[in-house]
Amino acid sequence: MNAPIPFQSATCPLPLRDYPQIVMGHGGGGKLSAELIEHVFLPAFGLSDQVLSDSTVLDLPGHRIAVSTDSFVVRPLFFPGGSIGDLAVNGTVNDLAMSGAIPKYLTAGFILEEGLEIETLVRIAADMARAARDAGVCIVAGDTKVVERGRGDGCYINTTGIGLLPSGRDISIGQACSGDAVLISGTIADHAMAIMSVRDGLEFEAPIRSDTVSVSSMVQGLMKDCPNVRCLRDPTRGGLATTMNEIAAASCCGIELVESDIPVDPVVRSACEFLGLDPMLAANEGKFVAIVPGEDAERALASIRSHPFGRAAAIIGRVVEDPHHLVVAKTLFGSNRVVPMPIGEQLPRIC
Amino acid sequence: MNAPIPFQSATCPLPLRDYPQIVMGHGGGGKLSAELIEHVFLPAFGLSDQVLSDSTVLDLPGHRIAVSTDSFVVRPLFFPGGSIGDLAVNGTVNDLAMSGAIPKYLTAGFILEEGLEIETLVRIAADMARAARDAGVCIVAGDTKVVERGRGDGCYINTTGIGLLPSGRDISIGQACSGDAVLISGTIADHAMAIMSVRDGLEFEAPIRSDTVSVSSMVQGLMKDCPNVRCLRDPTRGGLATTMNEIAAASCCGIELVESDIPVDPVVRSACEFLGLDPMLAANEGKFVAIVPGEDAERALASIRSHPFGRAAAIIGRVVEDPHHLVVAKTLFGSNRVVPMPIGEQLPRIC
């Protein structure tokens, strides 16, 4: 039962299908999304793979800024624990925080569908304003376009964020080293299950709320307490599985996770089991993964746990040498399984 | 026939209707757009009217940057003279240039509709890359979301731009003074008529092409030759009429235009007459209005005309004192007419 698995052949060696048209999976944050970027955008724009990161560092004369852009198409617009307005602010703020930057400014671009209630837009704007205040950022520029009925879905929002990068700070997903510890800042899969429950009208033992929140202050605290943080990443679309695979690939290492150490709220776990969904593939909107040197693991954990949003933080695995750059999880039954990069998307329009 | 018009009562004194839902006109760049910003976004985000400008200047420690965001929903995606890809780059680059900034970086956020041909996306990305190269900007970050069939229209693009503002440069639409000259960098209404012709399958004496282009180098030349430029603005949605009214309102002045001096391509003029459209209300995507001190007018004109894209530039009017902040045009028949701020939009989804 527990014979060694030939991991090097455990992922599909075939190329993905060469789709002639956009499919929903191209927006899922998994392999199809990566292929679209790799085969369409990077060659056209003449960019390096560095842009595959969620934010980009720019050298201005005299200092560095981080820039990140994200469009939000979540359905429905309001869900337990938040709205598209919260997501649009927190999502971009968190992407900036993952580069080590201090988020400062946001722009907001709205694509509204004819017929949207103005009252709905007012609520969304109020949520954005509150989230921006909580995250310590200013919304400094905006734009509104309107499309005909049936050419949109109420409201889509793009936010682009600018953050200041303190000098000497160097965080990237390509820096994980064998022996490093992998931490998560709290429970996973809350956001995806909150969306699922409201979208499908499901009721569980207790209401499931999205975890949408800015992690910026938590990250600034961590960077202060533990300046040697190597990688930060927020497991949004594609979930923890995607984040772990991206770090393994970018850092040319393997990652070993211990499933029983990954915090999942019991109600969320039941919901996942009921729906047949893997929590590791489910989106989060207020969590981050940190990779720190092994000797700093406990200090980093204490730092994250000292923050109100980080009380459920945990050390969930370690970085290992692996020429195949696999992510492997020790299951609850003691066996090992490969955690592959998802191809398409488990839940469309989750953010 | 030519008795003085009581201009102070020549605009409708009634408030606009209090729409409970989004209508197409909220995206038209006219009064309805302004009301949405004023009554929904500005109060929510706690912003000043300064944000009504197309770009925002941010003070970073040590220097200033300009930031602008714009979403593009033009229909169709390709049209004579350009595509949504060209517009998405040139539109944001031009907004930055209008603040006096040197455009440097762009982000690109795509909202794709399931079923879009990948080949179409490749063409759009290639157009963006070419336009970015021509404008001297780098596309530094991106994001892609996919929505279901019938929830989008092929491809929507948000671009957000960052430019560097040379120290001492101070351009805003609030600085026009009585005695200043009003210049336009070329013919008006080309973009709107190009879109109309392809959308409605109309054929005119000659094909009408969009004027989409970056005006950044033209503006940098003007700023060098004529450092006292007071206002710059690109007359996109809502056309020249909107731009003139925005400047008059922001600067608390009146503007007198001479219709016969406003350059309009003869084929475009015929198309406008045929369709019953006012060229002053039609969108442009590669033109700008400059307001300069009267004594600098000829020098500014020569500077703009020395650029390949500025050969048809003209002095089209002057800034006057007017407590009612009206824009008045001397018509081709010698009479005067008020040029009001449009309420909704003449052509939906023009950019």
Measured CA to CA, the distance from residue B85 to residue A114 in angstroms comes to 24
Q: Which residues make beta-bridge pairs with A60? A: A63
Interface of A with B in 57-76 (CB under 8 A): 58, 60-63, 65, 67-73
Mean pLDDT of B54-76: 86
Sort strands B102-113 and B138-147 into parallel, antiparallel or unpaired: parallel
Nearest to A144 among B36, B104, B117 (CB): B36
Out of A208-212, B40-44, B98-102, B327-331, which region has the weakest mean confidence (pLDDT)?
Answer: B40-44
Residue B145 pLDDT greater than 70, yes or no: yes
pLDDT at A3 over 90: no
Q: Is the entire prediction scored with pTM above 0.80?
A: yes
Which residues of chain B does A125 touch, with a Cβ-Cβ cutoff of 8 Å? Answer: 40-41, 44-45
Residue A52's pLDDT is 54
Cis peptide before A266 (omega within 30 of 0): no
Q: How many angstroms separate the CA atoms of B26 and B71, rounded? A: 14
Is the pLDDT at B6 greater than 60? The verdict is: no
pLDDT value, residue B55: 75
Q: How far is B8 from chain A, CA to nearest CA, in Å?
A: 31
pLDDT the model gives residue B52: 54
Question: How far is A153 from chain B, CA to nearest CA, in Å?
Answer: 6
User: Comparing B13 with A240, which gets the higher pLDDT?
Assistant: A240
Is residue A6 scored above 80 in pLDDT?
no
Q: Which of residues 116-135 of B touch A (CB under 8 A)?
A: 116-119, 121-122, 125-126, 128-129, 132
Structure confidence at residue B213 (pLDDT): 98
Instruction: Please state, as a whole number, how many other Cβ atoms lie within 10 Å of the Cβ of residue A299.
Output: 14
pLDDT at site A13: 44
Continuous H helices in A227-320? 239-251, 266-275, 297-305
Per-residue burial over A109-132, b = 16 or more CB atoms within 10 Å of its CB, e = otherwise: bbbbbbebebebbebbbbbbbebb
Which has the minimum average pLDDT: A163-177, A207-221, B69-83, B300-314?
Answer: A163-177
DSSP letters for A139-172: EEEEEEEEE-TTSS-SEEEEEEEEEEE-TT----
Domains of chain B, with CATH numbers? Answer: 54-165 (3.30.1330.10), 171-338 (3.90.650.10)
Q: Which has the closest alpha carbon to B53: B105, B107, B108, B95?
A: B95
- In A8-67, the residues whose Cβ lies within 8 Å of chain B are 19-28, 33, 36-37, 40-41, 44-47, 51, 55-56, 58, 60-63, 65, 67
A to B CB pairs, distance under 8 Å: 260
Least confident of A158-167, B16-25, B84-93, B304-313: B16-25
Measured between CA atoms, the residue of chain A closest to residue B160 is: A160
Which among A44, A68, A107 has the least Cβ separation from residue B141?
A68
* B30 phi-psi bin (left φ>0, alpha ψ -120 to 50, beta other): beta
Average pLDDT over residues B322-351: 91
Strands A63-72 and A155-165: antiparallel
Note whether B335 and B239 are within 8 A (CB).
Answer: no
End-to-end CA distance of chain B: 39
Task: Indicate the burial class of A168 (C-beta count within 10 angstroms; 0-12, 13-18, 19 or more).
Answer: exposed
| Window from A14-23, B139-148, B304-313, B318-327 with minimum mean pLDDT | A14-23
Nearest to A160 by CA among B122, B61, B105, B95: B105
- Beta partners for residue B157, in sequence order: B72, B110
Q: For residue B13, what pLDDT is reported?
A: 43
pLDDT at A328 over 90: yes
B330-336 long-range contacts (CB < 8 A, ≥24 apart) are B330/B256, B330/B257, B330/B258, B330/B259, B330/B260, B331/B259, B332/B259, B332/B260, B334/B2, B335/B1, B335/B2, B336/B5
- To the nearest whole Å, the CA of A164 is away from the closest chain B CA by 9
Which of A107, A117, A121, A164 should be substituted to probe chain B, the one whose Cβ sees the most B Cβ atoms within 10 Å?
A107
pLDDT of residue A9: 44
Strand partners, A144: A110
Element (H, E) at B199: helix B190-199
Residue B299 to chain A, least CA–CA distance (Å): 32
Model confidence at B222: pLDDT above 90: yes
Please determine, for residue B8, whether its predicted confidence score (pLDDT) is greater than 80.
no
Classify burial at A6, counting beta carbons within 10 Å of its beta carbon; exposed 0-12, middle 13-18, buried 19 or more.
exposed
Q: What is the predicted pLDDT for the residue at B171?
A: 93
Cis before A76 (ω within 30): yes
Please compute the mean of the pLDDT values over residues B292-314 and round it to a whole number: 98
CA-nearest residue to B139 within chain A is A45
> Which amino acid makes up residue B20?
P
**Helix boundaries (H) for chain A:** 31-36, 42-45, 84-97, 118-135, 190-199, 216-225, 239-251, 266-275, 297-305
| Per-residue pLDDT band at B79 (split at 50, 70, 90) | very high
Is residue B42 scored above 90 in pLDDT?
A: no
> Among residues of chain B, what percentage have pLDDT more than 90?
71
CB pair distance less than 8 Å for A58 and B146: no
Tens digits of per-residue pLDDT, B181-220?
999 999 999 999 999 989 878 777 788 999 999 999 999 9
Q: Do A71 and B145 lie within an 8 Å CB cutoff?
A: yes
pLDDT, tens only, B226-250: 999 999 999 999 999 999 999 999 9
User: Which pLDDT does position B10 carry in this prediction?
Assistant: 47
pLDDT band, residue B28 (cuts 50/70/90): confident
pLDDT in tens, A113-160: 999 999 999 999 999 999 999 999 999 999 999 999 999 999 999 999
Residue A184, judged by CB atoms within 10 A of its CB (0-12, 13-18, 19+), counts as: buried
Judged against a pLDDT cut of 90, whether residue A26 lies above it is answered with: no
pLDDT above 70 for A101 = yes
pLDDT at B201: 80
Q: B107 and A160 in contact by Cβ < 8 A?
A: yes
